[in-house]
Every structure is written in C-alpha cells, then in structure tokens.
Chain A
C-alpha cells in the first residue's frame, strides 16, 4: 500500500501561516476521522501534534491546527516560529487493519 501523499517541502517566514496537505483515498482518510500529525526534529523521535483530524494534545501550541476535506487532511501552522522547522508526517487508519504514514514534509522557516 502506497504512503499518503505529502509535499516534500513547505517554507514560510516567521509569523506567516503555512499549510501541509496529506492526500489519501476513500479507503483511508476519506472514510475515517483517525488522522494524526507528527513533528520530528533531526535525530529525535516523532512527537504527536494532532489526533482525530482536529484535536491537539495538551502542551501543543494552538498555532497548530488540523482539518480534513474529502480524501485530504491538512495541518496548518499559524504564526510560524523558528522552532517549528522540522519534518511533519500525517497518518491514517486504512480500514485493512493497518496504519499508513505520509511520506513526510520538511518545513523550513526562512
């Protein structure tokens, strides 16, 4: 099963907003609200940022928000900060007892 589709890179200036898309199919993102987003800094373990499409765990800044439309989920970072520079991965349940990750998006703060 192919990975969910994410742009390889997204960039923005401090204070700006950026959006990362994550495209799947009607068998995964389109059929379930079990989309999560993870942030990974170089050499570190991933960190949960968003779960169930729109929910933030405690401790995650409200600059991070999630949404979904059809087969595409999105992560928006508002008020971009230097520490947001990292790789971001989406994930979704697939309906076939497996979890699928996106290919990852490198966020660069200009």
Chain B
C-alpha cells in the first residue's frame, strides 16, 4: 500500500524550531518529487515547499523562504521539513504529498494524514 506518514509536529514557542518528517512506503520513493502543504485551522490549503527526486532542486513559498528547509534521504525513504524562526501564522496541519508528474506539472496524488504544528507561547 502506498503510504505517507508525517511526524514531528507539536507545540513550539514563537521563534523556535521544529523538524517534521515524512516516512514513505509502498513505492519507489527515490523516483518521486515531494512537497509539503499546510492548512491553518479552519483555513484553506497552502503549498509550502517542493523537492526534486534527487534533492538537487528545491522551491519555497514566499511566506517560508529563508526560514524553512526541505530535504530528503532516499536511502531512508524519508522527507523532512526543518522549520526555524517559527511564527504564530505557521500554526497549521502540515501534509507531505507526492508529486505524480515532474515539476511544473504539479499533481499531488498521494497525501499523508498530516501532523499538527502549533506556535504559541
């Protein structure tokens, strides 16, 4: 079964850091591009970041550029999101999602269940 499982969410103070992980199974992870998408409570979806299958190319939304870093370990079938200088507006459920086609033909065909990040003092 194709599956993505996020972890690492929790409560963090403003200005703090957190590292999210996404464990992939059921498919050849190293062949696929990956993304992080977030959803603030009661709000819509917001794309956060993208990484090429090799890890050589990454893109970020303007709202997180310079603060978040996406990475992957293909040997461990894992995707990561290192978040620093966190703000209250970063509070959201964070989803990892698989890109079915190559960028820019962005089609997110498999999603994890999400992990909640709360930034509050």
Contact = CB atoms under 8 A, between A and B. Distances in A.
A99 B105 contact: no
A38 B108 contact: yes
Contact of B108 (A46, A97, A102): A46
B46 A101 contact: yes
B68 interface: no
B77 to A, nearest CB: 19
A74 B61 CA distance: 25
Contacts of B114: 45
Contacts of A47: 111
A100 interface: yes
Contacts, number: 66
B27 interface: no
B1 interface: no
Contact of B106 (A1, A3, A91): A91
B111 A45 contact: yes
Interface of A: 1, 3, 32, 34, 36, 38, 40, 45-48, 51-52, 57, 89, 91, 93, 95, 97-104
Given A3-B44, A99-B106, A101-B47, 8 more contacts: A34-B106, A38-B108, A45-B114, A46-B111, A48-B100, A48-B108, A97-B104, A99-B47
The 4 closest A-B pairs by CB, nearest first: A99-B47, A45-B111, A104-B44, A51-B107
